[in-house]
Amino acid sequence: MSPQAAGRLALLGLLGGIVELTTVSQISIFGVPADLTPLLVCSVGFLCGSVPGAVFGFCLGLFVDTALLQTLGVNSLLYTAVGYGAGRLRELRDPAHALAPVAVGAAATAIATIGFSLLQFLLGVEAPVSWLLLRQILMTIVLNTLLALPVYMVCRRLLAPFLPDDPRRRRRRAYTTGGLSPLSKA
């Protein structure tokens, strides 16, 4: 990955994190705020591959944990897994369906929110598993699913010049190359 691409990823992470913390997290829709960070991580992983996705996820998780004075490492661990998983999905399957980012966003949010709750319980935070908590997790997943496609489009627009292949041509390539991702050739 070129330094320009790394710089743009860093900028994306910084801006995305700040927008999430200062604005998006304070707007409640369906009673819960949206969480853009897992969407950003999975979008980057889905566009750039597993290693950039994992590194981006780790860094963004660390940024969020630091900014919110949370236990360091919790979000890093989860977002590393999310970014890596999204990247591996792209590398192995290269889904060309237009709604694939939506499914990936939903799955990433589910992993992030459920994983965060599980880790909190493992760390000994005393909170009952209530219907309210389950409802909040579910509503966050639903809300993030709706936001997944716009976030993915923004990420793709920002990262398009640095991607190994233009994602808009993936559908056509899928027919000509038997569906193999160019990332897998690297």
Partner 1 sequence: MSDKVVRRRRAVLAVLVLLSLFLLTAYFGESSNGTLHGVQRGAMEVLAPIQEGANRALKPFRDLFGWFGDTLDAKSERDKLRAENDKLRNELIQATDEKRQLEQYKGLAQQNEQGGLSHYQPVSARVIARSPSSWYQTFQINKGSSDGVRVDQPVVNDAGLVGKVKSVSDGNAVVMLLTDPEFGVSAQALESGEPGSVGPAVGAPGDLRFELVPNAKNVRKGEHIITAGTSTSSRVSDLRSLYPRGILIGTVKRIETGEGELDRVIHVAPVADLHNLDVVEVLTEPHNDVRAQATP
Applying CB under 8 A, which residues contact partner 1?
18-19, 21-23, 26-29, 50-51, 54-55, 58, 61-62, 65-67, 69, 71-74, 76-77, 80-81, 84, 123, 184-186
Q: Which is nearer to partner 1, 74 or 137 (CB)?
A: 74
Instruction: Supply the minimum distance, in Å, between the C-beta of residue 77 and partner 1.
Output: 4
Instruction: Supply the minimum distance, in Å, between the C-beta of residue 112 and partner 1.
Output: 14
Q: Which is nearer to partner 1, 83 or 105 (CB)?
A: 83
Instruction: Supply the minimum distance, in Å, between the C-beta of residue 36 and partner 1.
Output: 13
How far is C-alpha 15 from the geometric centre of its chain's CA atoms? 14
Q: Which is nearer to partner 1, 27 or 98 (CB)?
A: 27
Closest C-alpha among 89, 82, 68 to residue 181: 89
Q: Which is nearer to partner 1, 21 or 154 (CB)?
A: 21
Instruction: Supply the minimum distance, in Å, between the C-beta of residue 13 and partner 1.
Output: 13
User: In this structure, are residues 32 and 136 in contact, taking their beta carbons and an 8 Å threshold?
Assistant: yes
Per the rule left: phi > 0, alpha: psi between -120 and 50, beta: everything else, 27 is beta
Give the single-character DSSP code of 163: S
User: In this structure, are residues 94 and 123 in contact, taking their beta carbons and an 8 Å threshold?
Assistant: no
Reported as type and span, the H/E element at residue 32 is: strand 32-33
Instruction: Supply the minimum distance, in Å, between the C-beta of residue 99 and partner 1.
Output: 25
Residue 42, SS3? helix
Instruction: Supply the minimum distance, in Å, between the C-beta of residue 98 and partner 1.
Output: 27
Q: Which is nearer to partner 1, 160 or 182 (CB)?
A: 182
Counting DSSP H helices and E strands in the chain, the numbers are 7, 2
Q: 108 CB contacts (<8 Å, ≥6 apart)? A: 38, 39, 41, 42, 82, 85, 86, 144
